[in-house]
A = this chain, B = another copy of it.
């Protein structure tokens, strides 16, 4: 026996309902609710009481329509299911929540095509601002420039474009790479392989440069065959390392561009009978959790993922508040954490 379809009607407590209930006008209710001028204390009290009792919430869309602000920011990132990016998301989410903003997520899945579609679909007047990290495939940035040109406050983080002038938040990739390479050298490594990221990405470039400069500082000639570029995945690390173990002169250290790749490298080294760190010292860039879980623990330059997210969001709010603000590039300091995977000498 089916009951006649009962349509659950969404909560209809509007400002008009309150006004009718109290026998006053909607404008008075509105003013009472924002502790504004032009309303007597008694009326205000009555309105507020009833609003609380009825659990009145203003319709955010109606408000947005007239106020031209949405209290929503967009976050566009290449992936979410890695510790690094999910930690960034947490940082963003925390400061946005604190500021009373809602967060809308978009994942490009490392595909420019999808990135473009997302931006196209994303109506500009839905967002007060945008936080973005580009996909690996993103070589050109017109799709971003168009949105920014239309007046959408934007801050890039991690994967930042070179040719757009907005605020940006990045890691100190260069210094981190320099330090960790220097550390390898001090451990006695002389034939250090660099498992690099995509060539065109700024942070990958910076890490490569840090590596090169550290070698130069110690008068070690960089070897072309010791540098290999690919993506950021564990599989990339595994494959590239499998190649590298066949290259002469034989490697004695690996600097991976990120932690997933380092883990791929570790697995490959084990597969081919190399011991870490005695045969090959291994270091990487990464966020915290992974590095402490593998055996041996990974020496890494830790990326302050949470802080990157939080800072980006803060910067975005600054710019929303003050649209004429000068673009600002924040470089988060990097910190070298030495663990077992690189400790040869002993």
Contact = CB atoms under 8 A, between A and B. Distances in A.
B293 A263 contact: yes
A123 B90 contact: no
B62 A65 contact: yes
A9 B289 CA distance: 44
Given A125-B11, A323-B7, A65 B68 contact: no
Interface in A105-129: 105-107, 118, 121, 123-126
A10 B150 contact: yes
A345 interface: no
B80 A89 contact: yes
B68 A10 contact: yes
A59 B62 CA distance: 12
A10 B323 CA distance: 12
Nearest to A103: B105
Given A61-B70, A83-B83, A89-B105, 6 more contacts: A5-B324, A10-B125, A59-B65, A81-B89, A81-B90, A263-B293
13 contacts: A6-B324, A11-B125, A57-B125, A60-B123, A61-B125, A61-B126, A62-B65, A65-B65, A80-B80, A80-B90, A81-B86, A82-B86, A94-B107
